[in-house]
Amino acid sequence: MHVLKNTIVAAVAVGAAVFFNACAGSSEAKDSNNPRNESFVDAALGESAEVKEAKVQHRENDKQAMLETMFRNFMAAIREDTPAEVLYSMLTDSSEYWLDTLENHARVYKPEDLDTCQFYEVYSILLYRLYEREHLWQVPEDRMLWLYLSKAGVIHNFTKLDLGPLKIKNDRGSIGLAKSPEVPIMIFEWDDSAWKLDLTETVPLITKGVEATAVKKSWSNKKLALYWLDREYHLQYSRLDDSLCEPIGF
């Protein structure tokens, strides 16, 4: 009898041990804080990271394709007589504001006011006044926009150079010359769902080489702007001098 009782107790004890060990094992499998279960956690996180990385890469590829499409459309637009509203739609808001402000300055700025401007601003103002004086305008309004983005505009002439590949980094796109593709000369900004050209950052980049002349010769921005106008237009127009620094009387 005692033997039978001891056998039953031993069996129960073994069964209980097996049961509790099984429960403990189940708990450990579910417990992500248990060091023995780190491999499961790592696997789960690793899969999530891979999916996230894939989504990011897909989004970057889409943005790259959209930038290349935008640039093709932009290049086509500045080679044709494209309406102002279409050209403005390809520019950042800050670019449009800058063009409007610069056109107003071209109408009213006096020589002392030009001393407060950057070279590319002085050059734009003097070129605007040359067009006004020589009656060269082909549009009744949005003239500074036309000066930059028409078929004979500043940007169009510049993009005749050999350009490198378009590059993007987050919400910023750029393009450089083919001979130095890592040095950006045109800047694009991602605007919610589309790429826009940022003239306020692009124009200083494309005139940087010219400005180096002023530094070497210790010239003012006005003198450099007049020098550059004379280089470009001396065979076509006269009085490329300080007279352009005065408002013409629009």
Condensed to tens digits (0 to 9), the pLDDT of residues 81-100 reads 899 999 999 999 999 999 99
The pLDDT of residue 110 is 96
Query: Which of 6-20, 120-134, 234-248 shows the lowest mean pLDDT across its residues?
Result: 6-20
The pair phi, psi for residue 226, each rounded to 5°, is -65, -40
Residue 50 is predicted with a pLDDT of 78
DSSP bridge partners of 194: 191
- Asked whether residue 16 carries a pLDDT value surpassing 50, the answer given is no
From the CB of residue 86, how many other CB atoms can be counted at a distance below 10 Å? 11
pLDDT of residue 45: 56
How far is residue 95's CA from residue 144's CA, in Å, rounded to a whole number? Answer: 11
Give dist(CA 50, CA 52) in Å, integer.
5
Among 200, 180, 178, CA closest to 189: 200
Cα 178 to Cα 202: distance, rounded to the nearest angstrom: 17
In this prediction, residue 44 carries a pLDDT of: 52
Tell me the domain boundaries of the chain.
42-245
Characterize the bridge pairing of strands 180-191 and 163-169. Answer: unpaired
CA 116-143-232 angle, 5° bins: 70
Q: Is 70 exceeded by the pLDDT of residue 135?
A: yes
Residue 182 has pLDDT above 60, yes or no: yes
Site of tokens 């028409």: 150
Give the whole-number percent of the chain exceeding pLDDT 90: 62
- pLDDT attached to residue 157: 82
d(CA 243, CA 237): 13
Q: What is the mean pLDDT of residues 172-179?
A: 96
State residue 209's pLDDT score: 87
pLDDT in the model for residue 81:
83
Q: List all residues 6 or more positions away from 220 whose beta carbon is below 8 Å from its beta carbon.
A: 115, 214
Beta strands (DSSP E) in the chain are 163-169, 172-177, 180-191, 194-197
